[in-house]
Amino acid sequence: MSSTALPFPDRIELTGEGLVLRDWTEADLAATPDLFDHPDIAYWTPIVSPFDEAAARARLDRDRQLRAEGTAVLLAITVDGGAPLGEVMLRRAPEGTELGYAVGPAHRGQGLAARAVRVMAAYAFEQLGVERVILELEAENAASVAVATGAGFSLLDVPLIKGEEKGRSYALQTWGRILP
């Protein structure tokens, strides 16, 4: 965490756009394999695959560590504070405040990711005082491009971020949204 970044609160619950974004809990562990153990998520995200309850436990522990360090916050996407339907992430990084998301296959097509990204961006602008948030995604991921545009992001004229993960090469575009 940079010396100027404030720590994240111990508890976060954000509401808006018909959603409640809340902290992950122990009670969510059994539900997360149905959300994250899917070929699309394995392909497009750094989430481990296969994703079972042990992976869920490791992810929850890592989430809590990242929050304590002031590096990242991962919140469950819900419509009522109950069952998780996906996840939205805010990460402080040298290149900027990055948002990320994943929605379980059974819950896609409802605009959950775009709405969650807009709520998390509002939190970043209003509560954290950032002036710009970014998304990093592959141009071939049509669903993520739709989320980016639907959440009010524009493609930035910056170099691609190239790398390799899970045995495949990727090139990420950077999309940005500035303080309204």
- Contact between 21 and 116 under an 8 Å Cβ cutoff? The reply is yes
What's the rounded mean pLDDT across residues 100-114? 95
Which of 115, 107, 102, 113 has its CA nearest to residue 36? Answer: 102
pLDDT at 94: 83
pLDDT tens-digit series, residues 41-90: 888 988 989 999 999 999 999 999 999 999 999 999 999 999 999 999 99
Asked if the model's pLDDT at residue 2 lies above 70, the reply is no
pLDDT at 5: 62
pLDDT at 67: 95
What's the rounded mean pLDDT across residues 128-150? 95
Assign 16 a pLDDT band (cuts: 50, 70, 90).
very high
Provide the whole-model pTM. Answer: 0.92
With a CB cutoff of 8 Å and minimum separation 6, the contacts of 144 are 44, 135, 137, 138
- Contact between 49 and 37 under an 8 Å Cβ cutoff? The reply is yes
pLDDT at 1: 40
Using DSSP's 3-state secondary structure scheme, residue 115 falls into helix
What's the rounded mean pLDDT across residues 90-97? 90
